Amino acid sequence: MHTFFVEPQEWNADIALTGGEAHHVANVLRLSPGEKVCLLDGKGREGTFEILSLTKKAVRIHLLQERVLERDCTGVTLAIGWGKEVRRGWLLEKSVELGAHGVWFWRAERSQHPLPRTISPSWTSSLVAGAKQCRNAWLPELRVFPDGINALIEEAKIFDHLHILSESSHSPRTLLTDAWLSPSGRTLCVIGPEGGFSQKELDAFTAAGFQSFSLGSRILRWETAALLTLGLHWWKKQQQ
C-alpha cells in the first residue's frame, strides 16, 4: 500500500490531496478510484483511505480505518552543530527511519555559516520523505538554537541522560558501548560541527552534567557520527 502525508490540521474522514501528493497519486502511480492508500500526519495518526475520485489538481479520499500511535516518551534527540548543507537532508530522512525523538541544530563556535532562526520547509520535507518510506507515524521534533550553547544547555535540563560525542583525542573519553545506552528515559546526544567542539564548549557541557563519549579511534564526519549514534540507540531499543 502506497503511503502519503497530510498536515495534522487537515486530517479528516474525507480529505482532498493536492499539490505534490495528488500528482504522485494520479500521474506517477496512476492509481484508480477504489484503490487504498496509507496516510500519515506526523503526529501519531495512521489511516487507511480509499480513493474516491481523481482530477488533475486533487484526489479525494475517504477514511476506512484509523489508528493513533502513542509517542514513545523515551528515545534520543540529536543536537547537531550547524555546518555545511551536504548530507543534511539525507540525515533527516534517516532520523525518522531510526526513530529519533528530535533533531536540533545549534550554532557552535566553529560553525561555518549562520544558523537560520526558523525551520526550513526543506528540512520538514526530508522528514516527511523518511516517514513515507518507513511508515513512521511520528516525525522528530525540529528545533534551532542560533544563539549558541547557553540556550541548548538550558533546554537539556528536561533530559534524563546527557551525552557529548567528541573526537577520541579529547579527554576524558569513554567509548559509547551498549553498557552506556539506556532504553529508558530521554537522551540528548550533542554532536559538534565539522570543525569539532572548542575547548570552551566542552568545558561548558561538562559543567552542565554532560558525559563525554567517543565513537572510536577515527575522526568521523558529523553526519556519520549522527547516524552511528542513532543506530546504536535504535539497536538497543530493539532488544527490549
Q: What is the pLDDT along the chain (240 residues), one digit of tens a residue?
A: 899 999 999 999 999 999 999 999 998 999 999 999 999 999 999 999 999 999 888 999 999 999 999 987 778 999 999 988 878 999 999 999 999 999 999 999 999 888 999 999 999 999 999 999 999 999 999 999 999 899 999 999 999 999 998 875 555 567 777 666 776 789 999 999 988 899 999 999 999 999 988 888 777 888 988 999 999 888 888 776
Structure confidence at residue 12 (pLDDT): 96
Transcribe 137-205 into DSSP letters: SBPPEEEEETT-HHHHHHHGGG-SEEEEE--TTSSS--B--GGG--SSSEEEEEE--TT---HHHHHHH
75-238: CATH topology is Alpha/beta knot (3.40.1280)
Q: How far apart are CA 122 and CA 93, in angstroms?
A: 11
Q: In the sheet where 36-40 sits, what is the strand order?
A: 3-5, 36-40, 45-54, 59-68, 14-17
Q: How far apart are CA 36 and CA 109, in angstroms?
A: 50
Q: For the chain, list the strands marked E by DSSP.
A: 3-5, 14-17, 36-40, 45-54, 59-68, 75-81, 102-106, 141-145, 161-165, 186-191, 211-213
Instruction: Please check whether the two domains, 3-68 and 75-238, share a CATH topology.
Output: no
* CATH class assigned to 3-68: mainly beta
Q: Locate cell 564526519: which residue?
A: 221
Q: Are 66 and 106 a contacting pair, CB within 8 Å?
A: no
Cβ contacts of 196 within 8 Å, gap of 6 or more: 110, 166, 167
Whole-structure pTM value: 0.89
Domain ranges (residues) in the chain: 3-68, 75-238
Classify burial at 1, counting beta carbons within 10 Å of its beta carbon; exposed 0-12, middle 13-18, buried 19 or more: exposed
